[in-house]
Structure 1
Amino acid sequence: MRNISDIIEGYLKAIIEKEDNGTIEIKRSEVAEKFQCVPSQINYVINTRFTVERGYAVESKRGGGGYIRIYRVQSNSHKELIEHIIAGIQQGATNTMAEDIVFRLLEEEAITEREAGIILAAVDRTTLPYPLPDRDVMRARILQAIFMTLLYKEIE
């Protein structure tokens, strides 16, 4: 059985997909009321499921007429997407960031399910028995090497 966060995520993604421009504007309180949950649950879903690594940008305006705007960020090519990801992990990559990045590459069909499994196994916290922040730096270096290989393969 899916939990409330999965249901809210699915609902928001379905609305985004219906929009021609890939953008939605919501009121946190209205979505919370629809799902009979606290508004902080909506914040949690947006902060964890609609991240840059997953291909979304979020902006919000607080106050009485406030809103949360969620954009689906589309890249023009797999090459552009991979270059953007490499640039975004220069300082390190957490396990969650790595999972989100791989999920996005899989979703955009830049990698296969098999490649996704291999990448995740290579950068899992159990594979990298180093203390933080060394582990996140090592994970980013491994991801960069893998993505550079994918990038050059894409160019061929």
Structure 2
Amino acid sequence: MKQSDLIAQAILEMMNKANGTAEIQRNELAQRMGCVPSQINYVLTSRFTPEHGYIIESRRGGGGYIRITRVNVDSRSEFMHIINSIGQTIDLASAKAMISNLYEQKIINLQAAQLMAAAISDSALRYIHSGVKDIVRASIFKQMLLKLV
């Protein structure tokens, strides 16, 4: 298992123990994980993003911390917020992260997640000009999500 996977797993375990929120001190976690603090930053910025369903707050200084909160999408208005956050374009990585988050929170089942991923994949959109591919992807993705509301 890669170091970044171990760091992410440790953060997720902390969140599970604390009802979806973890407060960490970057240097402390880096020391515990046997890595440099910048590796903690990498994991936070690549795996704990709003697209993945997380909010990160930080406070700098001596008693500073980083608070990671899992956003629960359980109401229609929050679900509509996700649809609206897509905007006019979405890249494949962001769309896949959103699909994964919806699946992990049990908002969609595995079959729906796989169907969505296939419909917005680069191979499904291979005949679409690259300049408009992310626009078409956003439109398809939003239409599928609207059917779930």
Common fold by TM > 0.5: yes
SS at match of 1:96: helix
Identity, in percent, stands at: 39
1:115 aligns with 2:112: yes
Deviations 1:65-117 (CA, angstroms, capped at 9, x unpaired)? 3221111112333x344312101101321111111111111112121111111
Distance in 2 (CA, whole Å) between partners of 1:125 and 1:40 is: 32
1:38 aligns with 2:44: no
Correspondence 1:127-138 to 2 at 5 A: 127-129=124-126, 130-132=129-131, 134-138=132-136
Distance in 1 (CA, whole Å) between partners of 2:28 and 2:44 is: 14
Residue type of the alignment partner of 1:105: L
Distance in 2 (CA, whole Å) between partners of 1:64 and 1:39 is: 15
Distance in 2 (CA, whole Å) between partners of 1:9 and 1:71 is: 13
Residue type of the alignment partner of 2:6: I
Q: CA deviation at 1:144?
A: 0.5
SS at match of 1:53: helix
Q: Is the 2:4–2:39 contact (alpha carbons within 8 Å) kept by the matching residues of 1?
A: yes
Residue type of the alignment partner of 1:23: T
Distance in 2 (CA, whole Å) between partners of 1:70 and 1:59 is: 7
Runs of 4+ in 1 over 4 A off after TM superposition: none
Residue-pair matches, total:
147
Q: Is the 2:88–2:139 contact (alpha carbons within 8 Å) kept by the matching residues of 1?
A: no
Which residue number corresponds to residue 154 of structure 1?
none
SS at match of 1:40: helix
Residue type of the alignment partner of 1:138: V
Q: Is the 2:22–2:68 contact (alpha carbons within 8 Å) kept by the matching residues of 1?
A: yes
Deviations 1:121-151 (CA, angstroms, capped at 9, x unpaired)? 111123223324x222211111001011111
Deviations 1:39-86 (CA, angstroms, capped at 9, x unpaired)? 111111111111112211001123333221111112333x34431210
Distance in 1 (CA, whole Å) between partners of 2:74 and 2:99 is: 18
Which residue number corresponds to residue 23 of structure 2?
25
Distance in 2 (CA, whole Å) between partners of 1:35 and 1:52 is: 24
Distance in 1 (CA, whole Å) between partners of 2:119 and 2:33 is: 38
Q: What's the C-alpha RMSD, in Å, of the aligned pairs?
A: 1.6
Unaligned runs of 5+ in 1: 152-156
Which residue number corresponds to residue 52 of structure 2?
54
1:8 aligns with 2:10: no
